Structures are given as C-alpha cells and as structure tokens.
Structure 1
Amino acid sequence: MSFFKKLFSSAKKPVVQSAPPVTQPDVPDDLPDWSEIEAAHDAARVAGAECLDRHWRSVGAVEQDVLSYMISPSFSGGPDWPSTRQAYRVVRRGDSIILATEGLSDPFDGTDDMSNGFEMELFIETADIPEHAKGAVGDVDPFKRSWAFELLETLAKTVANAGGITHSLDQHGVLSVDVPGFSQSHHIDGQVPALFVTDDDCVGVLLGGPQPDFPTRLDDMPLSPVRLVPVVLITAAELAYVRSGGRAAREDLVSRLNAAGIGYVSSLQRASVV
C-alpha cells in the first residue's frame, strides 16, 4: 500500500453526534386565551360607555366630546385606572354642570377579571363654574380650568390609588375626604371662597351622599353593576364637624344638607349648615 493510501486510511473520520430530541414543555389546557379576553374587554368597554351615555342622557344634555389627555397619565407616573382610558364627561343640566369620570368602571387591562373595574364612577354637579371656565355648547375644553374639574380629577386619582372605594362605602356609609394643598392648587385657589378652606389648607368633600334625584346604580353595565358616587364640596366648619364626629356626624351632615335644600349639589354661594 502506498504511503498516501496508508495515511488516508489511518485518518479517523469525524464522529457525527445526533442532537438530543427537543421536547416541548407541557402546556396546561386551562390557560386563558388572551386574544379572547382582550376582545371581550374591548367589547365590554364599548358597551359600558354606551350604558353610561344612555344614563347621562336621561339626566341632562351630554356633550359629545369628553375631557381627556393626549397621553394617559398612567404612562407618566400617575395612578393606574383599570384601563389606560381616563376621561371625564360633561353633562349640561339646566343651570348646572355635571362633570363625571369615565373609565374607573372599565374592565381591568392585562387580567382575566371579568368585572367593570372599580365598579364605580365619580361625579360632581354645580352651577358655580366661572364664565371663563365654562365652555359654550360643543366646547368642553374650558372646563379643565374650573375648580370642579380639578377637584374631581384629584379625587379620581385618590380613588384609583385606593383601588376603588365601593367596599369602604358599603362598610362606612358616606365618606369624608380632606383634599390638602388648597394654596398650591391651579384653579381651586382663586375660585373657591374662604368659607370652604380650613386653617390647615384643605378643602373637604363628602363621597356617596347626599343622594341625587336620579338613579346612581347601573345594573345593566356589561359585566357587573356600577354605582355613580356623588362628590359634594363641604365648608370648613362642616369638615371640622365630621373630622371630630365620625360616621354619626357624616350622616347628620347629609340630613342637614337635605333639610336645607342643598342636597348633593356643590354650591359656592351657600352658608354652612353647622
């Protein structure tokens, strides 16, 4: 055998190893179908908005446009609402304006929870919005410069941070909230009289009462019932009264507001009832 034949015949052939078989992980059969969930949430959001629209149209004249944001505040460090949709409706009712949140009752993004979010929306009614902050019919943007919108927006953030307040309303009845930083506000300071401002720079509100003259429970929302929670501005003396008296004082204040014919409407012109 020639030298070259010996050389090539003695060279070892490379060993080809077979790759180990690829095994697919076991996938549970009961994992949710996120495409179906997202489609159901989208449909529920549309149906919920239509339900709210029908309700508010039974109360007053609803503006077609809503107050909203170019970019959802949840993308810039703001509290998370159930979805990224954060908006406010404007309802004209005689001489009064109702501003109402729109989105606190949206289904939760990114979960398979099938409920209407926090199952609530907030609203405030008042006739005392300055002319420069009261848009003509068809123009809602000026309302952003009103004390009522700033107050409602602040309380919506508080509710979102708390994950909703329906449980607290069920447990404690009408709630009172201190809203601090009056002197640092953009529009509340300068529009709300001193009668409503405490010595420690707060304004106070009741949440959940007195009750308005229209239904506040929507049982025909697509996923679960939703309640509309009134926001009622109270005077500094009234806030001091409920701070010291708890639930009994809150319930008594509701009775006094009703007896005085003030009810749930936030009036800047009224006298204190305590």
Structure 2
Amino acid sequence: MSFFSQLFDRLKKPAPSAIGDTHAADTASPALDSVEPTADAEAANLALLEAGAACLERHWQAVGTCEADVLGFAISPSFMGGPHWPSTRQAYRIVRRNERIILATEGLSDPFDGVQGDDLGNGFEMELFIETPDIPAHAQGAAGDVSPFADSWTFELLRCVAGTVADAGGYGSRLERYGVLSLELPGVSQSRAMSEQLPAHFVSTDDCAGVLIGGPAPDFPTRLDDMPLSPVTLVPVVLITASELDYVRNGGAQAREDLAARLNAAGLGHVSHLQRASVI
C-alpha cells in the first residue's frame, strides 16, 4: 500500500485551553469531578495535553510565526489502520519564518493514551519538522489559511516519515546511538504532490525519495526541557537528492555524517532546497 493513499481534512486547532479536538469524545466529560476513577485520569491527561501543547506553542512562536490552525484529520488515522501515535491526536503545525516555512508534527510527544504511572513520559519524546523555502504557491495558504499546505510535497513527506517513526515506537534511542539517521520513502510516483513537485534529481531510479533525520542541526534550540512529563526534542527531517541517497545506501553511518557535514559546508544546513545541486 502506498504511504500516500489516505485522504485528509483540515482540523481546526482551538485555543490552548481546549487543545485536542480529536480527543473530544474521550476526554471532554461533562462531569470531570465525578467519582468514577476514569474521569480523574481523563482530566489529568487532558491537562497534560494542554500543558505540552502550550509549551510547543511557546517554542515555535520564538522561532517564527505560528498559524493558529493545524493540519489534521477528521478521523484519526489510528482508527483506520494507520500508524498509532501516542494519542489519537495527529496534527501538523505550520510556522512561517521569513521566506521559509516549517511544517512540524504535533502529537508525537503527547502522553500515551490510557497509560499511567511514575515513569510516564511525553510520548515518543520527539516531534519532527521540515523547513523549506520551496513550497509551490498553490500549496501555500495566505496568513491564517493552512488548508492549501495539505497539497504540498512537504506535508506528504513529513506525514510519511512520522508514520514510520510512530510504527517504530519512536527514534529516540536510534538518534542517541547514531546521531544522524536516513530513511527511504518508496513509491514517490504514487504520491500526487511529491511526484508533481519534486525535481527529478530528488527521486531515485527505483522510485524512492531519501531524507536525513536528526541532522544537520538547525539554527534554533531543539530541546524542550519544560514539557510537563519529560524533555522533548525537535528533530529535523532533510530531503536529500537521489545521488546523495545512493551515497548513504553504500556508505552507512559514516556517509550520513559526511553528508550532513557537506550540507553544512555548502551553507544549506537543515533547510530542504529543491533547486539546489547535489553535494555528492
């Protein structure tokens, strides 16, 4: 099955005091002070969701201008055979930053639904993001309008990477061990936005796109120590060319580190530029 086969709708993000529309049926009890044991747990979980969302909001507002709305789903993909994030909330934030735009996951660091205990943490303790100046005009909304971004290569790519990370139970330990990771996304021709918007030299002969995960490092802080349960890291996702993907396929960890260093040396860093030449 293609990574890009499911449809999606815009999900409005309320003010921080009412975060998490996709949780409404589970957590918005009309009697949170009920003596039922699950009511207290649900209220506590909602408070943690709100606190985490507010922390992410503060951080991204310091990086750029956050849209009040996020891209999301009318029905959580986890209910439709899709990847399971820590909670049913699966959303994508848009941050406008001068001439560039950041798309970031929102929900990979949510507390796990139905899980309690002293060792409870902020989900996978990470959120992914991709920054680029190269989203086509028709797939960019004016300020206050995020829905066009659903037609961008950036959203389709980040959604695919997020699903892979969620299926793996997070990439935290792998990033700690290897520093920079790589991932291949097969079936680019089956993705309407990616097949139409990515230049040919970003697609391999076997119909894959490649990304680095975790490097190069961005020009802003990526560790959030003030999340309610445990620290959360914002992890960059960087699109690489087909020849760079071949280099990584053949060279492993050393090639990944070298490629990240070459992107930095070329002044590209963590930003995904579609018009750039390969550094390999």
Match of 1:144 in 2: 150
Q: CA deviation at 1:169?
A: 0.5
Asked if 1:91 is matched to 2:102, the reply is no
**Greater shift in the superposed pair: 131-140 or 33-42:** 33-42
Asked if 1:221 is matched to 2:202, the reply is no
Match of 2:29 in 1: none
The one-letter code of the counterpart of 1:105 is S
Q: CA separation in 1, counterparts of 2:69 and 2:38?
A: 31
Pick the aligned partner of 1:101 from 93, 102, 105. Answer: 105
Match of 2:80 in 1: 76
The one-letter code of the counterpart of 2:114 is G
Match of 1:48 in 2: 52
Asked if 1:160 is matched to 2:160, the reply is no
Q: Runs in 1 of length 4+ with deviation above 4 angstroms? A: none
TM-score normalised per structure 2: 0.85
RMSD, aligned α-carbons: 0.9
Q: CA separation in 2, counterparts of 1:191 and 1:128?
A: 9
The one-letter code of the counterpart of 1:100 is A
Match of 1:193 in 2: 199
Q: CA deviation at 1:41?
A: 1.6
The one-letter code of the counterpart of 1:39 is A
Pick the aligned partner of 2:238 from 232, 242, 258. Answer: 232
The one-letter code of the counterpart of 2:164 is T
The one-letter code of the counterpart of 1:69 is F
Pick the aligned partner of 1:67 from 55, 59, 71. Answer: 71
SS at match of 1:97: strand
Deviation per CA, 1:191-247: give whole Å up to 9, x if none: 000111111110000000000000011000000000001000000011111111111
Deviation per CA, 1:120-154: give whole Å up to 9, x if none: 00000000000110100000000000000000011
SS at match of 2:195: coil
Q: CA deviation at 1:34?
A: 4.1
Q: CA separation in 1, counterparts of 2:227 and 2:192?
A: 35
The one-letter code of the counterpart of 1:216 is T
TM-score normalised per structure 1: 0.87
Q: CA separation in 1, counterparts of 2:272 and 2:232?
A: 23
The one-letter code of the counterpart of 1:42 is L
Asked if 1:57 is matched to 2:64, the reply is no
For residues 233-252 of structure 1, the aligned pairs below 5 Å read: 233-252=239-258
Percent identity between the aligned chains? Answer: 67
SS at match of 1:190: helix
Q: CA separation in 1, counterparts of 2:57 and 2:187?
A: 33
Match of 2:272 in 1: 266
Gaps of 5+ in 2: 1-36
SS at match of 1:125: strand
Match of 1:254 in 2: 260
The one-letter code of the counterpart of 1:55 is H
Q: CA separation in 2, counterparts of 1:202 and 1:48?
A: 34
Deviation per CA, 1:44-90: give whole Å up to 9, x if none: 11000000000000000000011111111111111111111111100
Match of 2:180 in 1: 174
Q: CA separation in 2, counterparts of 1:237 and 1:79?
A: 30
Q: CA separation in 2, counterparts of 1:134 and 1:94?
A: 14
